[in-house]
Amino acid sequence: MQRIGFSAQQCRDALSSYLDEVEELMELVEKPQSMTQDQVSEAQGLLKNLKACLKRDYELRRTAEGGRKMSEVERRHFAPATGQAYVDFHIRIGSRPSQEWFTALYNMQITLRHALAGLEKVS
């Protein structure tokens, strides 16, 4: 899949995918004190992947070339949402899941849902 120049549907699909990952992680870390070591490792792996993907999308769109290649809908909806989610991602990769994780993920969930709601008005 191309990583820039998204149509409205591609923006929806990518943001929905991010939202699914965030919600999966939220479910996994909802009760961090009762997590097994396997669950901790799974959560850390999912977190590492999510952060890497957000970073890639954020950095790709910050360049002058990226700015020129973005579609209007991508510029208005996708780039701000992924940028905000990445900038607000204050979870250290190797840390143990905690309430801090859940709070950061919750904030990302709100950002992504807001962007998706805005995209519903775009054909």
Decide: 25 and 50 in contact? Cβ < 8 Å.
Answer: yes
Q: What is the pLDDT of residues 100-117, one digit of tens each?
A: 999 999 999 999 999 999
Spatial separation of the C-alpha atoms in residues 82 and 18, rounded to whole Å:
9
Q: What is the pLDDT of residues 36-51, one digit of tens each?
A: 999 999 999 999 999 9
SS (H, E, C) the chain: CCCCCCCHHHHHHHHHHHHHHHHHHHHHHCCHHHCCHHHHHHHHHHHHHHHHHHHHHHHHHHCHHHHHHCCHHHHHHHHHHHHHHHHCCCCCCCCCCCHHHHHHHHHHHHHHHHHHHHHCCCC
Spatial separation of the C-alpha atoms in residues 56 and 53, rounded to whole Å:
5
Residues 6 or more apart whose CB falls under 8 angstroms from that of 121 comprise none
Label residue 47 left, alpha or beta by phi (over 0 means left) and psi (-120 to 50 means alpha).
alpha
* pLDDT for residue 113: 97
Instruction: Give 10-residue mean pLDDT values along the chain (123 residues).
Output: 84 97 95 93 95 92 89 94 90 91 95 95 79
Full-model pTM: 0.91
